[in-house]
């Protein structure tokens, strides 16, 4: 395989992973008044604070309506499967599974435009069965890229997650306290890499109510793109994010 082909495949794999935080670029403009998100105050999480996977990464079927700040509305559809769920956004479809301990994992993600799929071996843990204050579980996985007859196993991914704070926030759902969970996802291919830092605000009984992410993509050591996105959950919805 030529170096040019390898570079192209590395960029393609990174682009698929980047769709996690870039679906807002294709959010649908609507007449809905612009949504706002504001952190009014912050405090350290209590030592006994804990979040289960069903709250942090709910797999309940349904359509959740989000608004991307500065863009438009975004529909996220979650469909139940025997082992977990599939979650669809405009640019990507993710396959999620539930582990025996209740953890929610990302098995694969498919780019809607060209059908390319990125698989993780073993699946990347999005939410442990229970996440407690002071813990910072991390996981690693090999990255496998599939496009047509092509199948490359030349990348790696790592993800860590922790409870960071309890914030007083204002969203379209109102003003309330929410637990902020911070995660870092890094993926390296032969000639490209991606790093995404995400803060997710979670409310008991609801799940994620706001998500803010920043990412950087490097190709052969050059930073071709830095992006950020904030999305907030709109009222009367439930399901994925």
Distance CA 46, CA 105 (A): 26
Residue 239 lies in a domain: no
> Residue 190 is part of a domain; what is its CATH number?
2.40.360
What's the chain's average pLDDT? 87
Q: Which of 12-21, 194-203, 207-216 has the lowest mean pLDDT?
A: 12-21
Residue 238 lies in a domain: no
Note the pTM of the prediction, 2 decimals.
Answer: 0.87
Residue 65 lies in a domain: yes
Query: 217 lies in which domain range?
Result: 3-233
Domain count for the chain, please give it.
1
What does 3-25 look like in DSSP terms, one character per residue?
HHHHHHHHHHHHHHHHHHHHGGG
pLDDT exceeds 90 at position 102: yes
Segment 133-169, tens digit of pLDDT? 999 999 999 999 998 888 888 899 999 999 999 999 9
Residue 14 lies in a domain: yes
Segment 186-199, tens digit of pLDDT? 999 888 999 999 99
């Amino acid at each position: 395989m030529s170096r040019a082909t390898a570079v192209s495949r590395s960029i393609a794999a990174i682009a698929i992973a980047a769709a996690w935080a870039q679906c807002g670029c294709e959010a649908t403009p609507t007449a809905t008044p612009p949504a706002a998100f504001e952190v009014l105050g912050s405090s350290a999480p209590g030592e006994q604070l804990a979040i289960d996977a069903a709250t942090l990464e709910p797999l309940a079927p349904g359509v959740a309506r989000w608004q991307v700040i500065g863009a438009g509305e975004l529909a996220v559809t979650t469909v139940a499967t025997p082992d977990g769920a599939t979650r669809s956004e405009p640019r990507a479809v993710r396959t999620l599974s539930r582990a025996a301990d209740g953890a929610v994992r990302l098995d694969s993600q498919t780019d809607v435009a060209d059908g390319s799929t990125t698989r993780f071996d073993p699946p990347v843990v999005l939410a442990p069965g229970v996440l407690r204050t002071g813990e910072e579980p991390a996981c690693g996985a090999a990255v496998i890229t599939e496009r047509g007859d092509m199948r490359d196993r030349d990348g790696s991914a790592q993800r860590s997650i922790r409870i960071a704070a309890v914030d007083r926030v204002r969203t379209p759902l109102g003003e309330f306290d929410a637990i902020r969970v911070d995660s870092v996802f890094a993926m390296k291919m032969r000639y490209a890499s991606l790093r995404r830092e995400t803060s997710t605000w979670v409310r008991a009984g609801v799940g994620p109510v706001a998500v803010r992410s920043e990412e950087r993509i490097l190709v052969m050591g050059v930073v071709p793109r830095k992006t950020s996105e904030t999305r907030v959950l709109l009222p009367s919805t439930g399901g994925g994010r």
